[in-house]
Structure 1
Amino acid sequence: MPELPEIEHLRRTLAPHLVGAVVRTVTLHRRDILRHPHDVTTRSVGRRLLRDGRITTLARRGKQLAIITDDDRTVCIHLGMSGQLCYQSPGQRLPRTDHVHATWHLESPSGRALGRLAFRDPRRFGGLWAFDSRAELHALRWARLGPDGLDVPARDLQAALARTTRAVKAALLDQAVVAGVGNIYADEALFRARLNPTRSADAITAREATRLATAIRYILANAIEAGGSTLRDYVDANGDAGSFADRHLAYGRAGQPCRRCRETLTGIRIAQRATVFCTRCQP
């Protein structure tokens, strides 16, 4: 599943193509990809999905992306496990045209064709949420998220961890604790902070929470600069894969030597998710 670095890199690669563009038409190929369709009729679906709006902002919170127009209409996009947002210049074709569920056709304010934005999601765990305003998005969807992982304060992190007896790895996967961290970057941050993922979250000390918050911010920032981690489906707006998977020190490396101490890395399951750590470096 794309996590914060992948979505932030996607936002940065999409922005030059989308900001300032007018959404001339919208094609929704699957109605069930619009997660709140109860008040959306066939005639209104285009407007709810930003038709005739000029895109002014691409925002992100955790793993979620929002496209906002000049009249404050907002579409929130979650890529789920396999979702992609791909930009096509005029005349350019998508590498894959199957499983495309929504397409936005873009123009300049003067009417010149600028290309298309396509939402593709083979496994359909992702989706679109349409809101009348950015404030409505925050109230109904983003308010339930914890601090964004890129700037999570150590004090807030420790306070959230202190409220649960779950393993610290399981707590980090909870988007109400810290928004944007998933399985990949939880393993990487815990490794960098030298914290055992099985530790009870409420036992993490203030000093350890500071180490962990610093590690989370560092890992996420570096992953963004590398374009994120492409394991299977993820590509950015230009169709390019991320390279941070080449730098993983823990995630996906069970049974391999620790790059810090050469001890064999241990693989277990926490909260039904594969977890990798070093028993020597993360006692």
Structure 2
Amino acid sequence: MPELPEVETIARGLATDLAEASISGVRLLESGSLSTGTGALGHDEFLAELPGARILRVRRRAKVLFMDLATAKRPLLHLAFHLRMTGRLTVEPAQTEPRPHTRIVFDLADGRHLFFADVRKFGSCRAMPLEGLPHWAFWATLGPEPLEINAEQFAGLFKGRRGGIKALLLNQKFIAGIGNIYADESLFRAGIRPDAAADRVSRARLMRLHQELVEVLNEAIAANGSSISDYVNARGDAGAFQNDFRVYGRAGQPCRNCQTLLAKRTVAGRTTVFCHKCQR
């Protein structure tokens, strides 16, 4: 699943490519790809309201990509794309036909198209009026952004919290946007075992973890994210940060710091790689 750096990379690319763009039409090729849960527009409203909408802003919150629109009916409508395992958003030239697995096509006024494709159909698009956002349980319970809080605030999140530290990092209600890759990489850099009890990690080490987490997230963003299998950015290019992984996906290989063979076990329900010597 794309994590914070991948979704941020896509958002930045789309923000450039879709600046001042307008939507002339929408083709819903797979009805199940439009989520119509509490507070969201239904299929008919979606198809009726999107044509003529202006794209005001493209941004990210947690692992979700948002497009803020102004429509004839309302000054602000949010399109929320949850890419999950295989979702992709790419801007395509005029006359480009939908490819296999293209689920929604947004035709742009200048002739280009925005394709939402999803091989495994786990991803979704949701159109949320401003008044509907508070009723979206996922949105209402998201934790803070790791790049928007300081080390003191980050360390304070753990006060009185039991359980494993990696489990908390993966909990989107605790802190938003972190997944398996960047949890493993930041814990390694901070020298903290992924199965460590959170309430036994000192405040100083938690502040160090925040420093390493911010660093690894920013490095990944600069490298256009990590491409393990399906991820590409808004222009169809793969990321490169996977070339710099220190632990993720490297079980049984030598630690880049001490040459100890990296261990693998299941932590917080996820395959986890770490170094017995460097992480304590």
What TM-score, normalized by structure 1, do the two folds share?
Answer: 0.91
Cα distance, 1:157 vs structure 2: 2.5
Residue 103 of structure 2 is matched in structure 1 by 101
Residue 53 of structure 2 is matched in structure 1 by 53
Tell me, yes or no, if structure 1 residue 137 matches structure 2 residue 133: yes
Structure 1 stretch displaced more, 162-171 or 36-45: 36-45
Closer, same or farther: CA 41–12 of 1 in aligned 2, 3 Å: closer
Contact 2:41 2:127 in 1 (8 A): no
Cα distance in 2 for residues equivalent to 1:202 and 1:36: 40
Residue 89 of structure 1 is matched in structure 2 by 93
2:184 counterpart letter in structure 1: D
Cα distance in 2 for residues equivalent to 1:162 and 1:64: 27
Closer, same or farther: CA 73–47 of 1 in aligned 2, 3 Å: farther
Cα distance, 1:44 vs structure 2: 1.8
1:265 counterpart letter in structure 2: L
Structure 1 stretch displaced more, 156-165 or 174-183: 156-165
Residue 158 of structure 2 is matched in structure 1 by 161
Correspondence list, 1:243-262, <5 A: 243-262=240-259
1:46 counterpart letter in structure 2: L
Cα distance in 1 for residues equivalent to 2:25 and 2:273: 46
Contact 2:66 2:81 in 1 (8 A): yes
Contact 1:158 1:204 in 2 (8 A): no
Cα distance in 2 for residues equivalent to 1:212 and 1:237: 30
Cα distance in 1 for residues equivalent to 2:67 and 2:41: 18
Contact 2:187 2:209 in 1 (8 A): yes
Residue 66 of structure 1 is matched in structure 2 by 66
Cα distance in 2 for residues equivalent to 1:215 and 1:137: 32
Closer, same or farther: CA 137–274 of 1 in aligned 2, 3 Å: same
SS in 2 for 1:66: strand
Correspondence list, 1:205-224, <5 A: 205-224=202-221
Cα distance, 1:144 vs structure 2: 1.4
Residue 186 of structure 1 is matched in structure 2 by 183
Cα distance in 2 for residues equivalent to 1:279 and 1:41: 51
SS in 2 for 1:137: helix
Residue 18 of structure 2 is matched in structure 1 by 18
2:243 counterpart letter in structure 1: D
Contact 1:230 1:243 in 2 (8 A): yes
| Aligned residue-pair number | 274
Closer, same or farther: CA 125–42 of 1 in aligned 2, 3 Å: closer
Residue identity over aligned pairs, in percent, reads 37
Cα distance in 1 for residues equivalent to 2:46 and 2:132: 18
Cα distance in 2 for residues equivalent to 1:226 and 1:238: 14
Contact 2:11 2:59 in 1 (8 A): yes
Contact 1:152 1:178 in 2 (8 A): no
Residue 273 of structure 1 is matched in structure 2 by 270
Cα distance, 1:154 vs structure 2: 2.4
Structure 2: 5+ residue stretches without partners: none
Contact 1:161 1:177 in 2 (8 A): no
Cα distance in 1 for residues equivalent to 2:270 and 2:66: 28
Cα distance, 1:88 vs structure 2: 0.1
1:66 counterpart letter in structure 2: F
Cα distance, 1:206 vs structure 2: 1.2
Cα distance in 2 for residues equivalent to 1:19 and 1:138: 27
CA deviation digits over 1:33-72, x for unaligned, max 9?
A: 2222577555322145x32111010121111111011321
SS in 1 for 2:158: helix
SS in 1 for 2:44: coil
Contact 1:87 1:117 in 2 (8 A): yes
Q: RMSD across aligned C-alpha pairs, in angstroms?
A: 1.8
Structure 1 stretch displaced more, 160-169 or 15-24: 160-169
Structure 1: 5+ residue stretches without partners: none
Cα distance, 1:139 vs structure 2: 6.2
CA deviation digits over 1:133-177, x for unaligned, max 9?
A: 2x6436634331111122333233333323432211111100112
